[in-house]
Structure 1
């Protein structure tokens, strides 16, 4: 079977998965980072009344226009405690920010432009202009105005305006549900004492973090031994949990002990592809099972993480109607990069900044796909296209940014 280019594999994966349209109502505190499932219209008008933008004196512009005019203070208006009367000629009301503008007043003179000349008397020292420092009723929005739209990502500003429009709850699309299944007789969970032929099963935790970081709920199916019946039972559990995506870790190839692919096919999965022209991560499997996308990641930890960033992350953003995560960047390579072969290579590297702010990428000497420590210390992956020629030290290269450099 010919190896599928990375871009073609991602395109086929996304084309085969429809965005989730199931909805739920949630409170505002839980809504950060969620995506609106319907338009949101204001339930009231804001501001509900003309109010002052400054501390000062509310009065008639006809009086303020005469610089040096002496006016009588007849009361005050504060936020939540409006002045109940009417402002007439030669009168002003002491007013505070956010307070209702009293009847008869059409301008606010800020307190710095008023001279106190006696008990309840001021003298104007400036003409503020008619209507100055007043926020008119409905300046922000009016009842019935559609302010937020279906598909909007709820951030701090949008949640604030939703609350201001008097919505305690919002309808949002449900999060993608990801079931993660690790397979292998050699795997035991963290905290166990591995036998002489066993290792700690670590991949689940990094993959779950990537899933949650892209808006998904995670169902951990645990570790299942290399047994067809056990794998089939775990797949059935994922289906019963309503998973939108089943991520399998290891066993997706076609060796004697790689039973995941064959078990899934026997369970009804339609296999799309399973070999990608990339390093690390060649044995990546994609299929569908009763509307559930199946993503079979390699068993090596680094291969698993790289494939999850390249395929699972964009898949979850697509399913959850989230903006696509853009990790692309440019950096100057510190060392010479050798010519590449037919597979797209993702080379682990540290990032730093030059004195002019340019990113620099320094590759790790050892790139084995089982070396978790190297990946944990990497800030980026240098992307080497198939058949890329040698790149001399100092060359600009494409990178996939994992984290910004500390310096």
Structure 2
């Protein structure tokens, strides 16, 4: 590992409140937005190691092995309706007993029938299920008659064994995100535990002396909006967020906070530009970090960065994602750099980018990609007001962020819309 902060010579004055020269490089060209996203994903390298989790604890992880069926589904022929299991053509002599779900019925002889509930195993010898509303017991004879039109076809209203899958069929591939729906399928297929990739551990460092933790903005200070917003979003992206720390505008304190973090990914807010108290570039330089992305041609959010930190004591690679301090700009940085990195580390497959029609012309930036809050309507993606870098009002009403290229998007044209990270 690189020398500790105390072993390095600080390039700032004693109180650490003056930005050293070389903090950011305004002459360095910003990376294209698509390239920055690809670099973030590629920098993750191989996914984190596989672990085994009980089904509830696997939620949000990515499968580290294919989900193979441990049994046929259904595991036996089952009734699709309430009614009677019947053997051969009618009329039938009904038995006195019945078959409920969870029971093992005895065989059914030719010309006989037995009452059966939805989901119950179909007795051996049964040819079909006669729906309750189609069956009638004839007075006098006690025979079961079919009052539907035509002959009851063999296999009618029976879910045959293996209709959904056979044992050892691949149900889901490696890299599938474990959702509640996946948990249900895994349980149905016989699983108690799943092999999944470890979730990347993230620590959130919120930088800035101007931030308040409670109350209304006052005395030139503003509320921290990013701490409450980003922590659940990062969890929703598959991260395990272990902490959120406030760090004052001080080079030595920032450098120490990054150095001391044991997280796989450190996410910072603010200090990514070249202002008088923007110390992140200097702190990374002193720690021996390697900048992978330093400014992206996207609005809002262009002064974002991605760095490879010195490895942890156990040799684990570590990364830092530097997000701008303005709220919507930080959201742009999250979907550009943090989300691809976290998905790569967690072993998640990348879905096809969703595209939709623009309900109206989407305003452009003359040179850069623009990420614009939109709402999905019947007419398509509709741009929302209050889309400035420091605003969250439009985002709060948005379904996603439209990716608007420098040329803009005309009404009726298709546009990529990034889904917002789910709340963790």
The partner residue of 2:234 within 211, 230, 242 is 211
Counterpart-to-counterpart distance in 1, 2:72 and 2:417: 46
Deviation at 1:288, TM superposition (A): 0.3
After superposition, the Cα gap between the structure-2 partners of 1:223 and 1:327, relative to the gap in structure 1 and judged at 3 Å, is farther
The partner residue of 2:367 within 320, 336, 342 is 342
* 1:248 alignment partner, SS class: strand
Counterpart-to-counterpart distance in 1, 2:79 and 2:356: 48
Matching of residue 257 in structure 1 with residue 283 in structure 2: no
Higher relative CO (CA 8 A, sep ≥ 6), structure 1 or 2? 2
Counterpart-to-counterpart distance in 2, 1:138 and 1:327: 33
After superposition, the Cα gap between the structure-2 partners of 1:205 and 1:127, relative to the gap in structure 1 and judged at 3 Å, is same
After superposition, the Cα gap between the structure-2 partners of 1:15 and 1:115, relative to the gap in structure 1 and judged at 3 Å, is same
- What is the aligned partner in structure 2 of residue 300 from structure 1? 326
Correspondence list, 1:3-402, <5 A: 3-61=30-88, 64=89, 69=91, 71-79=92-100, 80-84=102-106, 86-111=107-132, 112-118=134-140, 120-123=142-145, 127-191=151-215, 196=219, 198-238=221-261, 240=262, 243-289=263-309, 290=311, 291-320=317-346, 321-324=348-351, 326=353, 328-333=355-360, 340-346=365-371, 351=375, 357-361=379-383, 363-364=385-386, 368-373=388-393, 375-376=395-396, 385-386=405-406, 388=407, 398=415, 400=417
* 1:129 alignment partner, SS class: coil
- Cα distance per residue 1:283-318 (max 9 Å; x no partner): 222210122221111222232222223322333333
After superposition, the Cα gap between the structure-2 partners of 1:16 and 1:372, relative to the gap in structure 1 and judged at 3 Å, is same
Deviation at 1:181, TM superposition (A): 1.0
- Cα distance per residue 1:337-377 (max 9 Å; x no partner): 58x5433344x566585xx724443655xx65334445546
Counterpart-to-counterpart distance in 1, 2:73 and 2:413: 52
After superposition, the Cα gap between the structure-2 partners of 1:150 and 1:220, relative to the gap in structure 1 and judged at 3 Å, is same
After superposition, the Cα gap between the structure-2 partners of 1:190 and 1:237, relative to the gap in structure 1 and judged at 3 Å, is farther
- Indicate the RMSD between aligned Cα atoms, in angstroms: 3.6
- What is the aligned partner in structure 1 of residue 5 from structure 2? none
Give the length in aligned residue pairs.
Answer: 382
Counterpart-to-counterpart distance in 2, 1:258 and 1:105: 77
Deviation at 1:11, TM superposition (A): 2.3
Counterpart-to-counterpart distance in 2, 1:173 and 1:232: 30
* 2:31 alignment partner, SS class: coil
* 2:182 alignment partner, SS class: helix
- Cα distance per residue 1:141-166 (max 9 Å; x no partner): 45444434322333454322321222
Contact 1:188 1:223 in 2 (8 A): no
* 1:25 alignment partner, SS class: strand
Counterpart-to-counterpart distance in 1, 2:241 and 2:381: 34
Deviation at 1:92, TM superposition (A): 3.2
Counterpart-to-counterpart distance in 1, 2:87 and 2:388: 79
After superposition, the Cα gap between the structure-2 partners of 1:234 and 1:47, relative to the gap in structure 1 and judged at 3 Å, is same
* 2:191 alignment partner, SS class: coil
After superposition, the Cα gap between the structure-2 partners of 1:352 and 1:54, relative to the gap in structure 1 and judged at 3 Å, is closer
State TM-score, norm by structure 1: 0.78
Structure 2 stretches lacking a partner, 5+ long: 1-27, 312-316
Counterpart-to-counterpart distance in 2, 1:17 and 1:93: 60
User: Once structures 1 and 2 are overlaid, which stretch shifts more, 135-144 or 374-383?
Assistant: 374-383
* 1:14 alignment partner, SS class: helix
Structure 1 stretches lacking a partner, 5+ long: none
Counterpart-to-counterpart distance in 1, 2:354 and 2:145: 61
- Cα distance per residue 1:61-103 (max 9 Å; x no partner): 2xx1xx6x4x43333331234444x544543333333333334
After superposition, the Cα gap between the structure-2 partners of 1:325 and 1:174, relative to the gap in structure 1 and judged at 3 Å, is farther
Counterpart-to-counterpart distance in 1, 2:414 and 2:80: 52
- What is the aligned partner in structure 1 of residue 13 from structure 2? none
